[in-house]
Chains A and B, each alone.
Chain A
């Protein structure tokens, strides 16, 4: 009669519903927090923790299935396609913020300069805090910490690829060392970014420059954090002996994500810091 399908069908699972509840709690808490209601932060915390529990449970389940050999072949190909399209959606998310940056620089601000009857004396240029702002500010210089950070992230891209070669050639020490270096470089990057934020002579309220600077670098930093968490999990799994040269989707996905974060940084360095 019917033979079992080669394509793995997961059994019913409660984790997705837990995830939805977590996001509902987090969003409701955020709304209450913004409305300055006392319960807001607690609800956000509860939602956030529940989300972490859900991610731990869900990914843990996938790891078990992977170890049981249920995610090979056609399923593995699905996972690879899925990750590619997920990264594409992330690219489009950043594209929205880059579009805001370019629009403001090349269309909105020059337009405001022509509106002298409304904003007399506004000279425009970039960076700018806009015609309503009277105080001068010092923008972030490109050739200090940001340039160092560029080198750090590029090196981390190289080290994660080196770890991948180690995996392909079965050299375990090389995988561990490569991943360890990558995570450390990511953490150093985040530390330097935090330092830069604390030392910044302007804030997210500093007009369109401050808004685009902090939103772009902030979301990038959040993605670096996520990527570093992913790679740390992968490092743990390597130490537990999870991957083989033929079967290591999770490793590949995390390293693709890391390269994506790298590329976003190069665009940030060029368009937010240098130009």
Chain B
């Protein structure tokens, strides 16, 4: 490979830690993103284990309420900004250049910076557990006035969010430019793989809303330390204004975490159904519609914050409208399966589980969209159940499916199919045992973010905790399976999945360090997974 690299005019890359610290290679940087994400997933997951241990029984057993609030807050922040978002950026780094036939990302050095900003932000967030007063405990949504009153850790979280926001914006710009400018000749926007489409739209959402998050946390910072009154009624400000600005970021953020998942599932299902993706064009329009609508629904997070009735009705209907394009996607996945020659390898199992379970999360979202129902369910475990079905069963299961799907291409080895299937079934079953009872708890009135609860909630909580422990332990099997695959295994061959059609499968496995140094020629009958 070195000979080829020299021949093609590439400088050889350093080895050891410097390879990773200075890398301008999309595959190396993608790998860094994915490992960072997995480590944050395990850290934030450990916090969830502590939460479930405390909630195993009524009463205060393990942690004090203050620490409990730190655990829920940091679990949310680390999972969102540390685990899920970086995982999808890792996929984008590995896959977008391979799928569009590009030599690398458009700005390889900037790509490196986008990644290495994340450990800096993680340092600030994780070390905040050890400062006076402990970590941020005001909830991941950072509402004032609580957030104005907290200690040093709150400042650390604000700066961490600034840095992670910079990382996301730079990464998103890089992805947009790569997709718009580096496609191989002949690949039009409406013929590029669906995963690339979902990331183009996700990146647009990131560039549009991460700066708004930056501005609103800056207002928090100045309210805390520099005497501004943005969120203080005595000065003419309004704490509800924070919620508007935050959720203007926060709701598109939900789609930032699910659209790439749609892209992964839309790639896996056609491969294992051995049929082109049904309704490619409608899939693209559905993703675009979801993205546009996501800017018009934010106040459904605030139905109990005191909105005028007209606003409540508007946001209720606009929220319900999102079910239409989302429904288009679910129907198209099912139609892709219809009369396909389906086989059930691990990636397919994860993709199918995602379609079923994400749909449950989508439906509970529709329930919550109804104002009178939401007034009852706001801040109960029903909401916790809803967003875990969307973010764990939707985003995290797709990430795992995507890992199994592309690991052979990345490592050159097949993963252990038996271990993969065990991991799948443990995860899928445990995830339902953990999160399904939370619907009942919420309907029965159990509030979220509390370390203790009334005795009538005990049984379902114990069930959720047992499920949670199994779910957590199963991820160690995932870690083991991934490491085992990296270290060895059956040779994968160029194209281990005979139903796959995208460009990465035309390369050897593992994909060479530099690929598509000249743009590949598209075969006329290559449809990139759609008709």
For window 158-215 of chain B, which residues contact chain A by CB distance below 8 Å? 159-160, 162-163, 166, 169, 172-174, 176-178, 180-182, 207-212, 214-215
| A96/B108 in contact, CB under 8 A | no
- Which of A31, A78, A94, A100 is within 8 Å of B230, CB to CB? A100
Q: How far is the CA of A77 from the CA of B173 in the complex (A)?
A: 13
Q: Would you call the interface of chain B mostly helix, strand, loop, or mixed?
A: helix
B486 to chain A, nearest CB (A): 22
Is A107 close to B, CB under 8 A?
yes
Question: Which residues from chain B contact A111 at a C-beta distance below 8 Å?
Answer: 238
| A20/B173 in contact, CB under 8 A | no
Q: How far is the CA of A129 from the CA of B227 in the complex (A)?
A: 12
What string of 1s and 0s marks CB contacts (under 8 Å) between B246-258 and chain A?
0010000000000
Q: How far is the CA of A17 from the CA of B230 in the complex (A)?
A: 35
Least CB separation from B19: chain A residue: A12
Is B152 close to A, CB under 8 A?
yes
Question: Which residues from chain A contact B212 at a C-beta distance below 8 Å?
Answer: 92-93, 95-96, 99
| A107/B103 in contact, CB under 8 A | no
Question: Which residues from chain B contact A129 at a C-beta distance below 8 Å?
Answer: 235-236
| B116/A16 in contact, CB under 8 A | yes
Least CB separation from B249: chain A residue: A96
Q: Would you call the interface of chain A mostly helix, strand, loop, or mixed?
A: helix
Chain A contact residue count (CB 8 A cutoff):
71
Is A2 close to B, CB under 8 A?
yes
| A12/B18 in contact, CB under 8 A | yes
| B244/A103 in contact, CB under 8 A | yes
Question: Which residues from chain B contact A108 at a C-beta distance below 8 Å?
Answer: 233, 236-238, 240-241
Is A24 close to B, CB under 8 A?
yes
- Which of A4, A31, A210 is within 8 Å of B8, CB to CB? A4
Question: Which residues from chain B contact A35 at a C-beta distance below 8 Å?
Answer: 152, 155
| B106/A93 in contact, CB under 8 A | no
A79 to chain B, nearest CB (A): 8
| A85/B11 in contact, CB under 8 A | no
Least CB separation from B159: chain A residue: A27
Least CB separation from B118: chain A residue: A20
Q: How far is the CA of A91 from the CA of B214 in the complex (A)?
A: 12
Is A13 close to B, CB under 8 A?
yes
Question: Which residues from chain B contact A192 at a C-beta distance below 8 Å?
Answer: none
B309 to chain A, nearest CB (A): 15
B251 to chain A, nearest CB (A): 15
A267 to chain B, nearest CB (A): 15
B442 to chain A, nearest CB (A): 31
Question: Which residues from chain A contact B174 at a C-beta distance below 8 Å?
Answer: 82
Is A15 close to B, CB under 8 A?
yes
Q: Which 3 A-B pairs have the closest CB atoms?
A: A132-B234, A96-B215, A130-B236
User: What are 9 residue pairs bridging A and B, where the CB atoms are less than 8 Å apart in the complex?
Assistant: A3-B8, A20-B113, A78-B181, A96-B215, A103-B238, A132-B234, A132-B235, A208-B236, A211-B228
